[in-house]
Every structure is written in C-alpha cells, then in structure tokens.
Chains A and B, each alone.
Chain A
Amino acid sequence: MNTNNQNFKLMITNFLNFNFMKTTKFLLSAIVCLTLVTTFTSCSDDDDNPPPVNPTELFTNVTLTFTPSNSTNATVVMEDIQPNGQGGGGATSNTVSGAFVSGETYSLSLAATDASDPNDVDDLLNDDVIPEADEHFFVYGLNGLNFTMTRDANDIVGLDNNKIGVNTTWVAGAASTGNLSITLVHEATAVDDSANNNLGSATGGEEDFNITFTGVTIN
C-alpha cells in the first residue's frame, strides 16, 4: 500500500513534469498565435485610415465691427484670420477697413469663430466665452489713437463683477493714427474692468489670443 502511495506520488510528479512541458508548448503556441494575430490585424488595418481631427477651439477668425451712431459715417471693420489657429501659419490676414470720424460714437460688436472647418463654423464667442464669463476677460490696447472707451451697462459680467468687454462703446477723439489691440485672457486670477481708462487689465491666466490691428485712423 505504502509503495503504491509512493508510486502515485511519483506519477503525480511525472504528470506535473509533463504538464509543465505542455505549458511550454502552450506558451510557444500562444506566442506564435499572437504573432500571427498581430500581423494579421495589422495587415487589415491598412485599409482603415484614421479620421482627420478638426480642432474645436481654435480662434481662427476674430472680427471687430465698429458701428457709428450716425449711419452716414462708415462702419469700421477689423478682421484677423489665422486659418490654422493663432500662430498656426497658413494664409493669414489682418485687415482694417474704413476710418473713424473724430467725435463720432461707435458701438463695437465682436465675433470670434473657429472656421478651420469651413463647413462647420463654431461661434466661440457665444458658445464658449460668454457662457464661461467668469473665466474670460477682454483687454483692449491703444497706441497712438485717441479713443474714449466704456464698457456698456448691458456688457456681460464675469469675474468679481467685472464687465468682460463684449459690449463696448468707443468715442473717437482727435485725429490720429495708431494701433488697436484686443486680447482675450483665459482664467485670469484677477481682472479690473476700469483699469487703463476702461481698457481693462488682467493678471495671471493666459492669452487665448492677442491681436493687434495696425494703421487704424481717426480722421
């Protein structure tokens, strides 16, 4: 009985050893299979082209439309186009059409879109910036130009009750030529809508865009 028991143990040992060999074979066959599978799948992948990515939050077109209160004066339109997003190159343009008239009051309306896919233009100003007014703030800049700017009563209110600068009124002063800039600041830590004669200032955060229009004229 005892011998049988020992024999049994030996059998088990042998069985395990054989099983072990089987394990090796299994591993080898698994490896071969996997190699085949991967090779096979990669072959079939070739017909499967990845879809293009059309970025959803590129500021490609920024337009400032200054409408005069007296419709006999010309509307001034400033437009900056960066088809691949800010700094992305491509056929960029930066234009100012029309001239301001001294003493006239203009109401500024903004447009900021992502037109990187011409068939699907995103209105970033109304879809992203205004709903997230707490995180956005427009800072304007003037160099050499005489303007008196105010943020309208109906302007959007953002961080710490500051008006973010979507609806603004511009009174053209003495005749002058210079530059006008518009900067959209994202996630600033502090903003001040009355700084720099209401042009505004922001600290912290980063600039979504910072666009300057040169050769702006007040006649």
Chain B
Amino acid sequence: MVMRLLALFILLITFLVGHSQECDYTFLGEIKDFHDNTPIVDATVFIQNLNKYTTSDVYGKFKIEKLCNGPLKLVISHVACETKTVSFMINGDQFETITLEHHTRELDEVAIKTEAIRRETNAAQETTVDSKTLRRYSNLSIGDALEEVPGVSSLKTGNSIVKPVINGLHSSRILIMNNGVRLQDQEWGVEHAPNIDINSANQLTVIKGSGALAYGGDAVGGVVVVKPSRVIVKDTLYGRTVFGGQTNGRGYNITSSLNKNYSSGWFGHIQSSYRRSGDFQTPDYNLSNTGLESFGVSTRFGKKSFESGFEVYYSFLNNEIGILRAAHIGNLLDFERAINAGQPIRIEDFTYDINVPKQDVKHHLAKVNYYKRFQNFGKVSLQYDYQNNRRQEFDVRVGDRRNIPAVDLILQTHSILADVNLDSNLDRKYNFGIVARYQDNFADPDTGVRRIVPDYDKYDFGAYITTEWQLSDDLIADAGVRYDFNRIDAKKFYLRSNWEDRGYDEDFQNLIIEEFPTQFLTNPVFNYHNFSASIGGKYSISDNHKAMLNFSHANRPPNPSELFSDGLHHALARFEIGDLRFNQEIANRISASYNYTNSKFNFLAEVFYNRIDDYIFLRPDNSDLSNRGYFAVWIYEQTNAELFGIDINATYDITPQIQYNHKSSFIKGYDLKTDLPLIDIPPFSTTNQIRYYNEKWNNFSASLKSEWVLEQNEFPNFNYTVINQLTEEEFEIDISTPPPAYHLLHFYSDATFNFKGKTSLNVAFGINNIFNSSYRNYLNGLRFFADDLGRNFTLQLQLNY
C-alpha cells in the first residue's frame, strides 16, 4: 500500500515538475532477496531505454549514470530467481531498492519448466499421480486413477460409481480438496462418488492419515488433493484435446482445454469434457442399465505474480449414472434369488439408454481467492467458495412416479478461509489460518418418499497452525495443531414407532417440536469440539536412504447419515439405522516410511497403525430373528477399531529401456470390542508391471501389468436366516463371504508424435482384462448380483497444441 502511494506521489511530482531534459542523473539500485533482505549478487540488469546491461555487485548494488528525467524500465534477472521488470520515473538522482524472489523452487509459486512435484506435507505418507498418468484415466473417474497409489483401493457400486478407500477407510473419513476447496457432496453414502471431473484435474495427491491439518482435522483416512494445471507466467497459448473410445460399454469421451497466459501474470483457462457409455459387459452377459452420461466444464482466470494474485474459478459437473437393474430388489426373498442365480436376473440387449434406477448429480463449485506476499513476512491468502450439490436418485416406481426422484437433496456450502504462510525464514516455516463454513441441506418433500437425511444447517469453524523446521541438512521436522467446532441443527422426522424402538422417547423427548399422527418432528442440535494434532520428521540417512515418521491425532464428528438414518435407503433396498447418541471418532495413527533410491532402483515401504476409538461403521443386523424377509436391516454401530498395514512400491530399471514396477498393499482391521475383523477391508493385492520405453521411436512405450487380488479371508460373519413364511423353510442369506481371488492382465501402449512447434499427438492403445476373466470384487456393492467387467479395448488420441 505504502509502495503504491509512493508511486502515485512520484507520479504526481513528475507532473508538477514538468519535463526538463537534462541528462546527467544517476540511478542507484539495490537488489535484495524478498524474504530475508540479503543482497543479490551478480544479477543482470537490462536497461531497456538504453539497451544496455549492467550487473549488481557483492552488495547487490548497481549504478546507472547519465540518465535523463523520464521513465526508466529495468529487467532484472538472476539465476534461480523470477525475472522482474520494474519501471521508475527518473527525476534527478535516485535510489531504489528492488526485491527479487530467490526461492522460487522451494516456494513453487512461479512456473517451473520441469514437472516438479511439490509435496503437500513433509513427513506424511504422500503419493502423487502426475498429469501424464492421469490422462490415461480420461475416460474413467478420480477413484479409478487413485488406485495407482499403493494402499488406495475403491469402494464401488458397479463400475461408474467409484469411491476412494485409503488404507481401508472411506467416505466421510476422506477429505477431498478440489483446487483448494473442500468438496461437500454428500460423501457419507457408499454409492456417492466424488463429484470431480477427472479431466479438470492435472495432478492428484494422496496423503494417508490426517497429517495435512491445513485442509481439515477430520481426515481419519486421508486427504486427496486435486489440482488443476499450474499457471505459467509467460506469454503463451496452449491446449489439449483428447478423444477416447472403448469397446466395453461402447463408450466414447472427448475433452478439450485451452489456456492463455501472459507474462504480466494474467491467465485464463477453460476446459470441458463429455463422456457417454452404454451398458457394460462382463465376459458372459450385458450389465443392463449401467450406462452413463457425464458432462463437465471448468473455467478460471486471474492474475498471478510472486507478490500477489487472485483467481476466480468455477466448475460444473453433471453425472447421470444407471444402476444395474437386476440389483434392484423388493425384499430379502428377491435378494436370495439374486444371489443364488449366479448372474443377473434381468439381462437385456445392449443400449445407451439410462433408465431407473439411476442417479443424476449436479455439482457447481465457485471460488475466488486472493493472496499477497509481504516482505520479511510471508504470504496471506483469502478465499471464499460456494458449492451447490444436487443429488437426485430415481428408483423403480409405479407409473409417472418413476420420473420423480426418490431422493432429492440440495446441499449448499459457503466457506471462507484465511491463511497465512510465514516463509521469510525457510528453516522455520509457519502456516496458520482460520476457516468458517455454513452448510444448508434441503431434502425435497415432493419425492413422496421419507427423507433419507433430514434438512439441516451446519456451522463449522476451524483454526490451525502448522510449522516446519529444517533442523539440519538431513532432518526436517513438522508439527501442527487444529481445533474445529461443528454444530449441526437438523429438522428430522421420526416415525413414532421408530422413535420409541430406539429408546429416544427416554433420552431425547425434549427434541420434539411438532407432533403428527404417525410422526414426530424433532430438532436435534449437536455441537462437537474437535482437536487434532500431528507431528513428524523426515531424516535423510544418506543420499540414498530416507526415513519418515509421523504421528497424527484426529477427531471426526458423526455425519448426518450416521446420526439420523432411520428408514429405507431405496437405492440399496435396505433399512439403515443411525444413532443420535454417537460421539466423535478419535483416531491415533502412527506411520513410518522408508525410501531407498539409486539411479536404477527406487523402493518405498510405508507402514501404519491406526487406532480409532468410537469408530462408526455400518453392518448387517441379524438381531431380529423374526425377520419375515422384508428388507435387510443395517445398523450403524460404534466400537473401537484398529487398522494396520504396509504398502510397497518398487521400481527397477532393468535396462535404460525396460522398467519393472511392483506395488502391493496389505491391511488388516479389527473390531476390538468383539474381536471380529472389520467389514469391507480390502484384501491383499499386488500389481507387477513391466514396461518397455524407447524415446527414439516417438517415445514409444508398451507395458504389461498383472493385477492380483487375493480373497479376503478375514471377514465378520453377519449372515442371517430368513424364513419363507409360506413354506416355513429357513434359508441363510450370505452377505458376508467375500468372492474368490482373481488375477487380471492388462496391456497398455502409447507413442507421441511431435509436429511443428509445440504440437504433438499421443496415441494410446490398451486392453484391460486381456483374458476376459470373470471375477467379482469384495468392495463392489453389486458383487452379489453380477460379475465385474470383461475385456475392454481402449483407444485414445491426445492432441497437445
């Protein structure tokens, strides 16, 4: 501000003094580092008016003589610094201090030509899926791409609804940041996939555990950071268009993006994608009604410089996804028939049509942010963001009602965020900030179906501080604390009978605000105070060996589904019962990583132990032995749990052209109160890949990947018996036994043809499930009804220009 006032003052003075033409003035300049004011030696100073060069001396000073009054434009450059152009009005002899940014690489705020990846955290277990790998998933989803990370698996409903599972934890335990905005999209549901267009992302980072406190304190499972492409500060115009096609589902997709950047820091970006697929196929049959249609658009513009900048971002995604028709069941007798049939009861001819049951989700995200960097201090950022998530689920209904959604939710979220990053001393970095959030959920009563989650207002407030200390050349330590306050104020209807069944009439009778013939309207208001903390260190044992250790403590308040569920969840044809009495989950996770690198071999092992007190989970309930076979009943329960495991990633360059990669993850989870294994824990899996690459042949690559998933042999047995009333026969519903192990082989090959200038064409061909093997995955909700996907040929053309 002062600088600007000064500049204006100088400007005014210039006007007043007028235009004398003496040319005998001297300009003295001093070039200093922005952060710590140390002089910058040997910077090149180009005097544009005179077309002359000079350099700064050991004190960072330089002198220009024989100047006329009038404007002076200097272009100052230095190795490892951002080139800076400055203008002055010369009016007699003058002295000016010019600051240069000297830590560009560390701070990662200006364009870096290499695809360098900046870590989000220091000592947490963090893996990044880069832009090149992401492009291969252009026709799939974020969840699919995240499976590249060892220790990350997917919770699926069919093939198109894919939720990430990090070290066995998912849904509300995973926090997803999309371009700096915490995604708010009813993430509690197992068939609610994250609403992010994979084509709007340029980089995905997975941080296992809750170590990244700046993003939130409740990431008991981990954080997924989705970032758009980096802004380049130079005059350029570039874009990318991807066309893809796949045989399975006869799908096609197109995505295109265009970027315009100016050396002044202004930038604009627009991206859009469209994807369509019909019914997918297993090796033996069509998966009827599994088509999808997806449309996304995102745009942003702003100005970016080292010292300040702003960004306006908007994205929209609309996904319409069909759900396997045969998975829709009326009651447990249907379910038993479906399980025993071995294949879907309803198999029809291929179609692109998407009928009921289906989900249609629209997600808008808008944000504005502004940052300014202060000398000798650091960077201050402010952000406001708004999200509007409309989720409609259409069920199999009678007559015209099939066009009325059975679930219709609008979730609106406003957040403001202020963040201060003190980085003037690179050996002692501090970051602190506050966040306030207001959320409003509206469940449309016109569905004619009782609300699955109630109307509610939610208020969040959080404050955090994190720090990173470079203790020696080999040792970096980090630590952080965070406090979050959450308040949920809901208007929830309970059937009188359910209210009494749960014993709420004894504990919560005061919550009733209105009485109806069969229902009570209640107003539960719950406040949660959450404290989270993290501490860790990274030690470079030698150039080749690195070790990391991290401990994190996190609290997660129960989500609306866990608290308020009390009825039929139509999409899954089951009763889900939550509990108003739940308190927060408390997780303590300790993790250690070891990394060995040499020129040919890279090995990373990550181990963790996560103890979660008051762990909330959903399980089939067989306590009602008089079950006449209407619906499966699932109840939320709270227990103490422990999870532990190891993830391994190893790459070995057999020759400069041939590379071998191995990934595997092993995890166990137990309920400490009942001594049972936890439900839905991913089984041991391992992938081994061999890749040939030859730069001379138009960057040709070919790889063969083996994916082997074992049978989960530790699972809780929640099977139950149902009586067929007519025949009085008892039969067991096996909803617990995991499917057998499977092994799949995939092929992928690509080549890049460079044309004139920046234009290049990348052609990629792949075969998934080469041997067309039939298999089912334990973490796919539709595994009871149908096999997973059969062979799939994919072709993708990617044009960069």
Smallest Cβ-Cβ distance to B493: which chain A residue: A52
Complex CA–CA separation, A45 to B442 (angstroms): 12
Closest approach, in angstroms, between the C-beta of B199 and any C-beta of chain A?
A: 28
> Is A30 in contact with chain B by the CB < 8 A criterion?
yes
Smallest Cβ-Cβ distance to B450: which chain A residue: A53
Partner of A10, one of B89, B440, B496, B498: B89
> Is A155 in contact with chain B by the CB < 8 A criterion?
no
The total number of A-B Cβ pairs within 8 Å is 175
Complex CA–CA separation, A10 to B568 (angstroms): 67
A206 touches B329 (CB 8 A): yes
B514 touches A10 (CB 8 A): no
Closest approach, in angstroms, between the C-beta of B365 and any C-beta of chain A?
A: 15
Query: What 1/0 mask marks residues of chain B from 599 to 636 whose CB sits below 8 Å from any chain A CB?
Result: 00000000000000000000000000000111100000
Complex CA–CA separation, A131 to B400 (angstroms): 11
Residues of chain A whose beta carbon lies under 8 Å from any beta carbon of chain B:
3, 6-7, 10-11, 13-14, 17-18, 20-21, 23-24, 27-28, 30-31, 34-35, 38-39, 42, 45, 49-57, 83-91, 116-118, 124, 128-129, 131-132, 135, 141-143, 179-181, 186-187, 189, 203-210, 212, 214
A179 touches B384 (CB 8 A): no
Closest 7 CB pairs of A and B: A87-B630, A206-B330, A212-B725, A207-B330, A56-B448, A90-B497, A181-B726
> Is B47 in contact with chain A by the CB < 8 A criterion?
no
> Is B799 in contact with chain A by the CB < 8 A criterion?
no
Stretch with Cβ within 8 A of A (4 or more), from B125-133, B152-160, B517-525, B785-793 = B517-525
B447 touches A53 (CB 8 A): yes
Partner of B70, one of A6, A39, A180: A6
B71 touches A34 (CB 8 A): no
Residues of the A chain whose Cβ atoms lie less than 8 Å from the Cβ of B725 = 179, 181, 212, 214
Q: Tell which of A10, A143, A209 has the most Cβ of chain B within 10 Å.
A: A10
> Is B401 in contact with chain A by the CB < 8 A criterion?
yes
B491 touches A27 (CB 8 A): no
Using known A-B contacts A6-B70, A52-B516, A55-B449, determine if residue A207 contacts B334 with beta carbons closer than 8 Å: yes
Partner of B448, one of A53, A89, A128: A53
Q: Tell which of B398, B399, B567 has the most Cβ of chain A within 10 Å.
A: B398
A31 touches B416 (CB 8 A): yes
Partner of A87, one of B15, B308, B401, B628: B628
> Is B737 in contact with chain A by the CB < 8 A criterion?
no
Say whether chain A's binding surface is mostly helix, strand, loop, or mixed.
Answer: mixed
Residues of the A chain whose Cβ atoms lie less than 8 Å from the Cβ of B308 = 20
CB<8 Å pairs between A and B, sample of 26? A18-B4, A20-B310, A21-B4, A27-B368, A27-B382, A34-B414, A45-B457, A49-B514, A50-B443, A50-B521, A52-B493, A52-B516, A53-B493, A56-B448, A86-B331, A86-B630, A90-B497, A117-B517, A128-B398, A142-B726, A189-B345, A206-B331, A206-B396, A207-B331, A210-B330, A210-B331
Residues of the A chain whose Cβ atoms lie less than 8 Å from the Cβ of B421 = none
B495 touches A90 (CB 8 A): yes
Partner of A89, one of B368, B454, B497, B513: B497
Closest approach, in angstroms, between the C-beta of B487 and any C-beta of chain A?
A: 11
Complex CA–CA separation, A72 to B8 (angstroms): 109
Interface residues of B in 331-370 (CB under 8 A from A): 331, 333-334, 345-346, 368, 370
Complex CA–CA separation, A43 to B768 (angstroms): 54
Q: How many residues of B contact A (CB 8 A)?
A: 74
Interface residues of B in 55-113 (CB under 8 A from A): 70-71, 87, 89
Partner of A27, one of B370, B521, B567: B370
Query: What 1/0 mask marks residues of chain B from 773 to 801 whose CB sits below 8 Å from any chain A CB?
Result: 00000000000000000000000000000
Closest approach, in angstroms, between the C-beta of B578 and any C-beta of chain A?
A: 16
Residues of the A chain whose Cβ atoms lie less than 8 Å from the Cβ of B333 = 207, 210
Complex CA–CA separation, A180 to B491 (angstroms): 43
B396 touches A21 (CB 8 A): no
> Is B438 in contact with chain A by the CB < 8 A criterion?
yes
Smallest Cβ-Cβ distance to A54: which chain B residue: B448
B728 touches A87 (CB 8 A): no
Smallest Cβ-Cβ distance to B451: which chain A residue: A53
Residues of the B chain whose Cβ atoms lie less than 8 Å from the Cβ of A34 = 384, 414, 416
Closest approach, in angstroms, between the C-beta of A25 and any C-beta of chain B?
A: 10
Residues of the A chain whose Cβ atoms lie less than 8 Å from the Cβ of B14 = 7
B1 touches A21 (CB 8 A): yes
> Is B11 in contact with chain A by the CB < 8 A criterion?
yes
B334 touches A206 (CB 8 A): yes
> Is B436 in contact with chain A by the CB < 8 A criterion?
yes
A56 touches B384 (CB 8 A): no
Closest approach, in angstroms, between the C-beta of B21 and any C-beta of chain A?
A: 9
B445 touches A35 (CB 8 A): no
Complex CA–CA separation, A143 to B724 (angstroms): 11
Complex CA–CA separation, A20 to B728 (angstroms): 78
Partner of B491, one of A30, A50, A203: A50
Smallest Cβ-Cβ distance to B516: which chain A residue: A52
B493 touches A6 (CB 8 A): no
A132 touches B497 (CB 8 A): no
Residues of the B chain whose Cβ atoms lie less than 8 Å from the Cβ of A187 = 396
Using known A-B contacts A50-B445, A88-B568, A186-B396, determine if residue A143 contacts B384 with beta carbons closer than 8 Å: no
Complex CA–CA separation, A89 to B575 (angstroms): 11
Residues of the A chain whose Cβ atoms lie less than 8 Å from the Cβ of B303 = 20
Query: What 1/0 mask marks residues of chain B from 713 to 731 whose CB sits below 8 Å from any chain A CB?
Result: 0000000000001111000
Residues of the A chain whose Cβ atoms lie less than 8 Å from the Cβ of B443 = 50
Partner of B399, one of A131, A181, A204: A131
Smallest Cβ-Cβ distance to B632: which chain A residue: A87
B414 touches A35 (CB 8 A): yes
Residues of the A chain whose Cβ atoms lie less than 8 Å from the Cβ of B567 = 88
Interface residues of B in 257-298 (CB under 8 A from A): none
Residues of the B chain whose Cβ atoms lie less than 8 Å from the Cβ of A18 = 4
Residues of the B chain whose Cβ atoms lie less than 8 Å from the Cβ of A129 = 398
Complex CA–CA separation, A3 to B330 (angstroms): 83
B445 touches A53 (CB 8 A): yes
Complex CA–CA separation, A187 to B19 (angstroms): 90
Residues of the B chain whose Cβ atoms lie less than 8 Å from the Cβ of A38 = 414, 438, 440
Complex CA–CA separation, A27 to B367 (angstroms): 11
> Is B676 in contact with chain A by the CB < 8 A criterion?
no
Smallest Cβ-Cβ distance to A128: which chain B residue: B398
B396 touches A87 (CB 8 A): no
Residues of the A chain whose Cβ atoms lie less than 8 Å from the Cβ of B71 = 3, 6-7, 10
